Amino acid sequence: MTKLRLHNTLTRAKEDFAPLDASNVRMYVCGPTVYDYAHIGNARPVIVFDVLFRLLRHLYGPGHVTYVRNITDIDDKINARAAEIAASRNIDVEAARAEITAKTAQQFLDDVTALGSLNPTHTPRATDYVAQMVEMTRRLIAEGFAYEADGHVLFEVARKADYGKLARRSLDDMIAGARVDVAPYKKSPMDFVLWKPSDDKTPGWPSPWGRGRPGWHIECSAMGEALLGETFDIHGGGIDLVFPHHENEVAQSEAAHRGHPLARVWLHNGFLQVEGEKMSKSLGNFITINELLKDWPGEVLRFNMLRTHYRQPMDWTVAGMNESWKTLEKWYAVTEPLSDPPVGSAFLAALADDLNTPQAIAELHKGSDHELAGGLGLLGFSNVQERIAARTNVDATAIADAIAARNAARKAKNFAESDRIRDELLAQGILLKDGPEGTTWEVKR
RNA sequence: GGUGACGUGGCGGAGUGGUUACGCAACGGUCUGCAAAACCGUGUACCCCGGUUCAAUUCCGGGCGUCACCUCCA
């Protein structure tokens, strides 16, 4: 069996992957906070970990992998948005929260499905696990890792001797570098919230500490525990989540689990820039998945994402998408539908080497057409028989008629007419290709 | 200020202590009414300065640059 190696953020090294239970490989990835359209940066972990999900299913069997990607529908950014909606439409804030999260979550799922991602095994929403969050918080208080202060429950980082081990920061350094105003009720600036009180205008749930809402970090710990158990195999997310989110997850989960680790392997994808600049709303280069899908097939976006190794910084460009489009056009033209195409060994080895998708793609360029079909299938390009053109708004019948007319003109040596037809199609973005088997066409970018 | 990542040919992008990455673009050829496509072939590289080594793009140290985290963020 192909040996899977993964770069573990905990050890900063590539390690051989050995699941706790090969009959149930368990992976958790931090999902979106649903208050607005997901942007292309959000798509990176979705696509990268979807490829890992597919690879694990290939290696261990489709029924032996459990993948959890949560939906955070309790969050203060959501609450802020819900408050605006509630005020403008004069509706209850909880109703507004439910509406915006339901709508945004569905939009997210539609977007990532268009990117060729499989549905995770479970897509838990925080609101369905508040009881588990309360229970875990209570456990942390009982174990002496958390304290109640001024209506809040806080995790006391000083109680966790190895706090900072994931991000590799010492508590002293972090406190010295703290740049935020410290809430007066905190024992230490680094203590973080497990539970906080809600006023009448803020969504809240009953708890032993009054009506309130969970802190962000406890959401993932509680959902991970509920669906995957105390210790699971892989936890993934963007590199920006290493600190504080994942560090805090580690701290609270281990504290609640008598020291048992949360995840064996931590994977983090690198950041993405747009046309050489960081993506931000102020620069006006904040691009959503939804906007891109209006101009580009999801497969092209997916392929473009996989051309860069997941841990590398990535520059998202139109030039890159054009190149991706071109490559897929070429490949879709040569691959034929096969019921069970073979997966090339060099391709698989590259993929198993810490998800080296650029190397894997290079192997597809080198390999046979059958291996190309198999590789594309494993990477999530399952509809290799479906041309990209089929996803665009072109009239295939009209094009076929035009091609027939052009070929008739060519046969009659009326080249002025045949070239006119060709130029007319080109003006519509349809590029003709004369081959020994006849004339084919593709949509030109 | 602290921590971390990255810097490869025109562009994208793997990888390696000594042997062709790969793709796109470019150039040459075959084919074609022409062009495109397809196919064949060709070229250019490892940020700077030291060190280790028989040999460094690859290891070590320093510098410069870019990005990220330290505060919500994939």
Mean pLDDT in residue range A360-365: 94
pLDDT digits (tens, 9 = 90+) for A283-310: 777 899 999 999 998 999 999 999 999 9
Phi and psi (nearest 5°) for A143?
-85, -5
Closest CA to A330 of A388, A416, A383: A388
| Among A96-110, A149-163, A331-345, A348-362, the least confident range | A331-345
Confidence band for A339, pLDDT divided at 50, 70 and 90: low
pLDDT (0 to 100) of residue A389? 46
Whether A379 shows a pLDDT value over 70: the answer reads: yes
pLDDT digits (tens, 9 = 90+) for A321-336: 999 999 988 888 776 6
Closest CA to A310 of A114, A43, A62, A111: A43
CA of A439: nearest nucleotide by C1' is B37
Tell me the one-letter amino acid at A407.
N
Q: Which nucleotides of B are covered by protein (CB under 7 A)?
A: 1-6, 11-15, 21-25, 32-39, 67-74
What whole-number distance in Å separates Cα of residue A120 and Cα of residue A61?
15
Mean pLDDT in residue range A121-131: 96
pLDDT (0 to 100) of residue A390? 53
What whole-number distance in Å separates Cα of residue A368 and Cα of residue A21?
35
Q: What percent of chain A has pLDDT over 70?
A: 94
pLDDT (0 to 100) of residue A269? 95
CB A403 within 8 A of CB A395: no
**Residue A70 beta carbon within 7 A of nucleic strand B:** no
pLDDT (0 to 100) of residue A393? 61
pLDDT digits (tens, 9 = 90+) for A7-27: 999 988 899 999 999 999 999
Residue A122's DSSP bridge partners are A68
Question: Distance (Å) from CA A409 to C1' B35?
Answer: 16
pLDDT (0 to 100) of residue A364? 93
Confidence band for A337, pLDDT divided at 50, 70 and 90: low
Confidence band for A385, pLDDT divided at 50, 70 and 90: very low
Q: Which CATH class is domain A18-272?
A: alpha beta
What whole-number distance in Å separates Cα of residue A236 and Cα of residue A355?
13
Q: What percent of chain A has pLDDT over 90?
A: 71
Tell me the one-letter amino acid at A425.
L
Whether A179 shows a pLDDT value over 60: the answer reads: no
The token duo for A360 is 């894997």
**ipTM > 0.95 for the complex:** no
Mean pLDDT in residue range A419-442: 85
Whether A273 shows a pLDDT value over 60: the answer reads: yes
**Residue A185 beta carbon within 7 A of nucleic strand B:** no
pLDDT (0 to 100) of residue A427? 82
Closest CA to A48 of A226, A179, A239, A224: A239
The torsion region of residue A372 among left (phi > 0), alpha (psi -120 to 50) and beta comes to: alpha
pLDDT digits (tens, 9 = 90+) for A35-64: 999 999 999 999 999 999 999 999 999 999
Give SS3 for A90: coil
The dihedral of CA A328, A330, A333, A334: what is its sign?
negative
Whole-number average pLDDT of chain A: 90
Whether A433 shows a pLDDT value over 90: the answer reads: no
Numbers of helices and strands, H then E, in chain A:
15, 15
pLDDT (0 to 100) of residue A283? 72
CA of A176: nearest nucleotide by C1' is B2
Every domain of chain A and the residues it spans: 18-272, 296-389, 393-443
Confidence band for A338, pLDDT divided at 50, 70 and 90: low
**Residue A83 beta carbon within 7 A of nucleic strand B:** no
What whole-number distance in Å separates Cα of residue A443 and Cα of residue A425?
10
Question: Distance (Å) from CA A442 to C1' B71?
Answer: 49
pLDDT (0 to 100) of residue A27? 97
The residues of A between 339 and 378 with beta carbon within 7 Å of nucleic strand B are 353-354, 356, 358-359, 361-362, 365-366
Phi and psi (nearest 5°) for A168?
60, 50
